[in-house]
């Protein structure tokens, strides 16, 4: 399971000018399948925040959630089996179910957030967005720390 993040230079000028939110390519990748589709662009930081909120709800006791994309009819429904720690993910429109451990899913979210931060630092943009990323990272780290998971001691996490 991977949440793939790629910055596209064609999408950044409007963000830098302040006329558009941060857009970048963001997809879910599992067993060589990308969802919603390869090179999908969306309001990545916004949807990462929404996805983190759903992951937190699962952590706090809910057993179902829906991870939405901002554009199009795309979403991934989740069913959490707390006893086994497994999440079943069902991408809308595909006849497949992805199975992943909750811990691995949270780590995939953390990796995506970290990649966004690294891109912003590399390009020298998005100071305000980096503050949001710091909050996202703290929330995700909290989910893992309470489960007594070892975290790497590098980067923003």
Question: Residue 150: what pLDDT?
Answer: 46
31 against 72, higher pLDDT = 31
Question: Residue 146: what pLDDT?
Answer: 64
- pTM of structure: 0.89
Question: Tens digit of pLDDT for each residue in 108-141?
Answer: 999 999 999 999 999 999 999 999 999 898 888 8
| Domain assignment of residue 7, yes or no | no
| Domain assignment of residue 14, yes or no | no
Using 50, 70 and 90 to split pLDDT, how confident is the model at 155?
Answer: very low
- The per-residue pLDDT of the chain, averaged, comes to 90
Q: What percent of the chain has a predicted confidence (pLDDT) above 90?
A: 79
- Give the three-class secondary structure for 2: strand
Residue pair 6/24 in contact (Cβ under 8 Å)? The answer is yes
| Domain assignment of residue 30, yes or no | no
Question: Tens digit of pLDDT for each residue in 59-113?
Answer: 889 999 999 999 889 999 999 999 999 999 999 999 999 999 999 999 999 999 9
| Domain assignment of residue 32, yes or no | no
Domain count along the chain: 1
| Integer angstrom CA distances of residue 24 from 37, 112, 128, 143, 145 | 13, 12, 17, 26, 29
Judge whether residue 3 has pLDDT over 90. Answer: yes
Domain that holds residue 104: 45-145
| Domain assignment of residue 50, yes or no | yes
Spatial CB neighbours of 145, under 8 Å, sequence gap ≥ 6: 151
145 against 86, higher pLDDT = 86
| Domain assignment of residue 110, yes or no | yes
Question: Residue 143: what pLDDT?
Answer: 81
Q: φ, ψ for residue 75 (rounded to 5)?
A: -160, 165
Residue holding tokens 């710091």? 134
Judge whether residue 142 has pLDDT over 60. Answer: yes
| Domain assignment of residue 39, yes or no | no
Question: Residue 16: what pLDDT?
Answer: 92
């Amino acid at each position: 399971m991977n949440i793939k993040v790629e910055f596209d230079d064609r999408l950044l000028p409007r963000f830098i000018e302040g006329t558009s939110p941060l857009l970048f390519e963001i997809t879910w990748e599992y067993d060589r399948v990308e969802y919603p589709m390869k090179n999908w662009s969306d309001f990545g930081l916004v949807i990462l925040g929404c996805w983190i909120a759903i992951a937190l709800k699962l952590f706090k006791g809910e057993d179902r959630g829906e991870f939405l994309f901002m554009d199009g009819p795309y979403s991934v429904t989740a069913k959490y089996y707390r006893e086994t720690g497994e999440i079943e993910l069902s991408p809308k429109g595909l006849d497949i179910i992805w199975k992943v451990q909750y811990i691995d899913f949270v780590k995939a979210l953390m990796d995506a957030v970290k990649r966004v931060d690294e891109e912003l630092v590399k390009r020298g943009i998005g100071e305000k967005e980096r503050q949001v990323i710091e909050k996202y990272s703290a929330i995700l780290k909290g989910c893992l720390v309470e489960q007594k998971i070892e975290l790497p001691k590098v980067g923003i996490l």
